[in-house]
Amino acid sequence: MKRRLLGFLLVPAIAALSPLIALPAVVQIAGASGWASAIAGESIGTFAAIAIGWGWATIGPALISIAADDDERARLYRESIAVRLMISIIALPALGVICWFIASPGSEWLTVLMGAQGALIALSFTWFCAGVGDPKTIVIFDAAPRLIANLAAAGLVLMTGVVVLYPLAGIAVTLIGTGLFTMRLLRRHPGPWPRPRDIPALLRSNLSVALNDAGLSGYSSVPAPVVNVTASASAAGGYATADKMLKLGQFIPMTLANALQAWIGEAHGAHRGRRMGVALLLAAGAGLIGWAGLALVGPWLTSTFLPAAPAPFDILLVMGLVFFFFSVRTAVARLVLFPAGQAGAVMRATLIATAAGIPLMIALAIAWGPLGAALGYAFTEGAATLLLARRCFRVLRDLRHAPSEAPV
C-alpha cells in the first residue's frame, strides 16, 4: 500500500511541476490580460471536461477496482470511450464559441486552445490506472511526456513568441498518450463496442455523478471568467495566477483519494470504517498543508516565477481555505459516500451549494473585485463540504457496528 501511495503522490507532483516550467514564458509573452484570458479559457475548459467525462473520472476508479476481471475492466473502458467521444462532439464547438467571446482582444486563440486543452483531459485514461493501482503507466503515457512537452513548449514560446504552442503541447500529450494506452489495452482485451441504442442507458447510469461533478466544476469555473470581464488587467492577472496555483495543487487530494481507493475497498465492515477514518485525517492534513503553502509560500513563488502577474497574499490566503475544503470534500465523497451508495446525496449537496454560491461569487466579484470572487468560492466549497458531513458521520457510525469479515 505504501508503495502504491508513493507512486500516486509522485504523479501529481510531476503534473504540478510540469506547467510551472512553461508558465513564466507564457505570462511573459501573453502579458497580464492574455494570461487572465488564458486561465478564464482553462476554467471554461474544465467545465467542458466534466460534461465530456460524464462522471467516469469520479466513479470510474471504484468500478474498475471492484470489476471481476480484466475483460470486464476493458468493457467498462470501451463504454466510457463511447460516451465521452459522443459528448465531446457537442461540447467542444460550444466551448470554442464561449472562449472566443470571453477573451481579451488579441488573446482569442490562446483562450480557445487553453479551453480545449482543459476539456480534452476528460478523454484521459488516468482514472482507469487509478482503479487498478498502476501509477507507473500514468507516468509513462502521461506525466513524463507532459513534463517533456512543457520543457519544449517553454523554450519554443520564448524563442518564437508564439504563446499558443503551450496549450497545443498539452493537447498533443493528452491525445497521443491516451491513444497509445487505449490501443494497448483494447488489443489485449478485445470485445464488442456499445451499440448506439446502449448509449442512453450508459448516460443514465452515471447521471447523478455527472451532475455532481458539473455542480462542482460549475462553481469552480465561474470566478476566473467573471474576474476577467469585471476587473482590471493587472488585478485579473493576479487572480488568474492564484487560481492556477490552486488548480495545480488540487491534483494532490484527488490522487490521494485515488491511491486510497483500493486500500479501503479491500477491507470490510468496521475495518473499512477505520480505514475511511484514516483517509479523512490524511485528507484534512493535506488540506491544512496546502492552505499554509498557498498563503505562506505562494506570494514569494508567484512574484519570483511569474513577476508579470503575481498573486496577492489576501487572495492566496482565501484560495488556501478553498483548497482545505476541497481536500476534505473529495475524500468524503470518493472514499466514504460513493462506496456507500450515496451518490445522490452528494449530488444534491453539491447542487444546493452551487445554486447559492454562484450568484454570491458574481455579486462579490462585482462589489469587491477578485477578493470577493475568492471569498464566494470559499463559501461555496465550504458549504458543499459541510452539507456532506452529516451523511459521512452516519456512514462511519454504521460501519463501526458492522462485522469486519468479507461477506460470503
Residue 184's pLDDT is what?
93
| Environment class of 200 (CB within 10 Å of its CB; exposed 0-12, middle 13-18, buried 19+) | exposed
Residue 318's pLDDT is what?
97
**How far apart are the C-alpha atoms of 352 and 34, rounded to whole Å?**
34
Residues with Cβ within 8 Å of residue 167, at least 6 apart in sequence: 38, 110, 113, 114, 116, 117
**How far apart are the C-alpha atoms of 277 and 396, rounded to whole Å?**
8
Return the DSSP state at 163. Answer: T
In the block, which residue shows the cell 470554442? Answer: 96
Whole-angstrom CA distances from 318 to 98, 154, 280, 334 are 28, 30, 22, 24
Residues with Cβ within 8 Å of residue 227, at least 6 apart in sequence: 36, 40, 235, 236, 239, 240, 365, 369, 370, 373
Residue 408's pLDDT is what?
43
CA atoms within 13 A of residue 44's CA, in its CB half-sphere: 28
Q: Which residues of the chain have pLDDT under 50?
A: 407-408
Residue 169's pLDDT is what?
93
b/e string for 43-81 if b means 16 or more Cβ within 10 A? bbbbbbbbbbbbbbbbbbbbbbbebeeeeebbbbbbbbb
Q: pLDDT tens for residues 67-85?
A: 878 888 999 999 999 999 9
Angle at 315 between CA 118 and CA 210, to 5 degrees: 35
54, containing H or E segment: none
Residue 24's pLDDT is what?
85
**How far apart are the C-alpha atoms of 38 and 30, rounded to whole Å?**
9
In the block, which residue shows the cell 489495452? Answer: 185
Angle at 43 between CA 41 and CA 48, to 5 degrees: 95
Q: What percent of the chain has pLDDT over 70?
A: 92
| Environment class of 30 (CB within 10 Å of its CB; exposed 0-12, middle 13-18, buried 19+) | buried
Residue 164's pLDDT is what?
93
